[in-house]
Chain A
Amino acid sequence: GENVEQHPSTLSVQEGDSAVIKCTYSDSASNYFPWYKQELGKGPQLIIDIRSNVGEKKDQRIAVTLNKTAKHFSLHITETQPEDSAVYFCAALGGFGNEKLTFGTGTRLTIIP
């Protein structure tokens, strides 16, 4: 089955700086890669996603890049703000008909004011 690894497990950045979180996956059939933000006591919130036919996607301060050959994808947050502090999870989902998300172990991001 699919295995997703995520690094780093914790990340602290100064407010206004950029944050990068990296994930690798094992199943070359995986074709959909969402990123979730989870705040304390809440469920995961979808913040951005990318499909395997695209190399990069951007939404305001958030961007995701995908390298299918190397089987890794990354989340980039620019101009970080205190409200970006949360746990971020990457995930991978297999081909059509395989609907189970495999999650990474999470990155606790802390923005230092």
Chain B
Amino acid sequence: NAGVMQNPRHLVRRRGQEARLRCSPMKGHSHVYWYRQLPEEGLKFMVYLQKENIIDESGMPKERFSAEFPKEGPSILRIQQVVRGDSAAYFCASSPPFSPGGNQPQHFGDGTRLSIL
């Protein structure tokens, strides 16, 4: 049973270019989350999606960042016109649908390390 798959593992972009990060959730998981981690820091929530819906994007910068989770295919985190401050590790997590027992555990992929030249 494959875990959360993220690609690419490493991505280098020049300032002003676009970055696309992809995430395939675990089998049976319908909820996807994106987090950002700066060096030597904890993870910061960005966005929470279910299929074809953005549920909570309170952690997303208002400009240049967008996310989607289409009916078919992986979730995509898109960063337009990248700047040096976008350099970070971006992690995706997935969880099963809600259950009466409460919140479901979030399982993480190994991330995409984004470097901006």
The interface of chain A, by Cβ under 8 A from chain B, is 6, 31-32, 34, 36, 41-46, 49, 51, 89, 93, 96, 99-106
The answer to whether A41 touches B110, judged by C-beta atoms less than 8 angstroms apart, is yes
The interface of chain B, by Cβ under 8 A from chain A, is 4, 6, 31, 33, 35, 40-45, 48, 55-56, 58-59, 91, 93, 95, 98, 102-103, 105-111
Inter-chain pairs besides A34-B105, A99-B33, A100-B59, 14 sampled, C-beta below 8 Å: A32-B103, A43-B91, A44-B91, A45-B108, A46-B106, A46-B108, A89-B42, A99-B95, A101-B43, A101-B106, A102-B45, A103-B43, A106-B41, A106-B42
Most B C-beta atoms less than 10 A away, residue of A34, A100, A102: A100
The answer to whether A99 touches B31, judged by C-beta atoms less than 8 angstroms apart, is yes
A-B contact count (CB 8 A): 64
Expressed in whole angstroms, the Cα–Cα distance for A105 and B39 within the complex equals 11
Chain B, residue nearest A103 (CB): B42
